[in-house]
Amino acid sequence: MLIDNHNRVINYLRLAVTDRCNLRCNYCMPSEGIDFAKKDKLLSTAELSKIGELMVQMGIDKIRITGGEPFVRKDLMTLLRNLRNNSGLKDISITTNATLIGPHIDELKALGIKDVNVSMDAINKATFERITRRDHFDTVHNNLIRLITEGFNVRINFIVLDGQNVEDIIPMLDLQKHYPVNVRFLEEMPFNGGSKKFNSIKWDYKAILAHIRKTYPEIELVQSPITSTSINYKITGHKGNFGLIPSFSRTFCGSCNRLRITALGDVITCLYGPPKINLREIVRSNSPDDNIKDAIRNVIGKRAKTGFEAQKEHKGVFDNSMTSIGG
């Protein structure tokens, strides 16, 4: 079992498989993109599989595949097959923009990968395309409905962006009236590749809840697992629940159970902090498995207590993009 220096069990790995993406969401990166990593700096499928397997041996029981956009990686399904068949891990999930998932839905189902988070920050086509700077709304919408109707556990991640998609909060929530889907509203974080700097946000989780209550005054709080980052609610008559994720306010650090490994092999022990070690060269130098595990245990033993504490470890304001961290 992996336990950090604040007695938190770490059992959840967010594994990024690429920093590239076919969208350019304006809260995530500038329109011209970021300085994407050279291919040889990205972990190969074999390296990702090995790291996944070692992490499972160490006590990780849930891996979420993220990016960048995971499905821009042509060999993604090979990695998923490896993780499913070799690591013994049951809980594999994916966060995706749902533009490219269509051809893989049947195989995901066959592999038993049923938890899919779809990032969709607008239900209005023009708003969606303004935010993502690409015209893929119809594909995303079709894939979303297909995933839901084929029985996947789908959660929609919706970042509330001042002046951009506030009008879409209620229509997006209303999807839950008709479909068993959970919509989660997230606070915007300052990981946008330097395109916008801010130290406070207007749409924090309290403001989002107050906005929703104007339309739905009768909202019921739902009990959530202690490690959940979302505060979850039910609206009578809705098929799904909705959640608020205080990703900027950071109210959930006390029970944080997650570790991040980026597509370049950086180990990030707190979303708000800088990387602690890079596994790529350690893995490429054919280090014994125990050395790799020790390196990981070592940084888990020095985790910042909160995101605010971790943020101080950055020199100056951070200007990295979520596409290179994985969300």
- Residues of this chain that interact with ligand SAM (CB under 6 A) are 21, 27-28, 66-69, 95-97, 119, 157, 159, 186, 188-189, 191-192, 247, 322-323, 326-327
Minimum CB separation from ligand SF4 for residue 120, in Å? 10
Cα–Cα distance measured from residue 221 to residue 92, given in angstroms and rounded to the nearest whole number: 27
Closest CA to 185 of 204, 213, 164, 162: 204
If the CB atoms of residues 166 and 295 are measured against ligand SAM, the closer one turns out to be 166
Closest CA to 307 of 265, 262, 245, 264: 245
Mapping DSSP to helix (H, G, I), strand (E, B) and coil, where does residue 32 land? coil
Binding site for ligand SF4 (CB under 6 A): 21, 23-25, 28-29, 67-69, 97, 119, 322-323
Minimum CB separation from ligand SAM for residue 119, in Å? 3
If the CB atoms of residues 87 and 247 are measured against ligand SF4, the closer one turns out to be 247
If the CB atoms of residues 54 and 325 are measured against ligand SAM, the closer one turns out to be 325
Cα–Cα distance measured from residue 115 to residue 94, given in angstroms and rounded to the nearest whole number: 7
Closest CA to 232 of 272, 205, 256, 200: 205
Closest CA to 206 of 256, 249, 242, 170: 249
Terminal-residue alpha carbon distance, the chain: 24
If the CB atoms of residues 98 and 267 are measured against ligand SAM, the closer one turns out to be 98
Name which of ligand SAM, ligand SF4, none residue 262 binds, using a CB cut-off of 5 to 8 Å depending on partner kind. none
Please report how many Cα atoms fall inside a 13 Å half-sphere around the Cα of residue 123, on the Cβ side. Answer: 16
Minimum CB separation from ligand SAM for residue 165, in Å? 12
221-230 CB contacts, 8 Å cutoff, 24+ apart: 226/255, 227/12, 227/255, 227/256, 227/257, 228/252, 230/184
List phi, psi (to 5°) of 107.
-70, -35
If the CB atoms of residues 145 and 219 are measured against ligand SAM, the closer one turns out to be 145
Minimum CB separation from ligand SAM for residue 94, in Å? 8
Minimum CB separation from ligand SF4 for residue 62, in Å? 20
**118 and 147 Cβ atoms separated by less than 8 Å:** yes
Name which of ligand SF4, ligand SAM, none residue 257 binds, using a CB cut-off of 5 to 8 Å depending on partner kind. none
Name which of ligand SAM, ligand SF4, none residue 66 binds, using a CB cut-off of 5 to 8 Å depending on partner kind. ligand SAM
Whether the CA torsion 4, 288, 92, 137 is positive or negative: it is positive
Name which of ligand SAM, ligand SF4, none residue 24 binds, using a CB cut-off of 5 to 8 Å depending on partner kind. ligand SF4
Name which of ligand SF4, ligand SAM, none residue 205 binds, using a CB cut-off of 5 to 8 Å depending on partner kind. none
Which pair of tokens denotes residue 196? 């916008």
If the CB atoms of residues 28 and 304 are measured against ligand SF4, the closer one turns out to be 28
Minimum CB separation from ligand SF4 for residue 300, in Å? 26
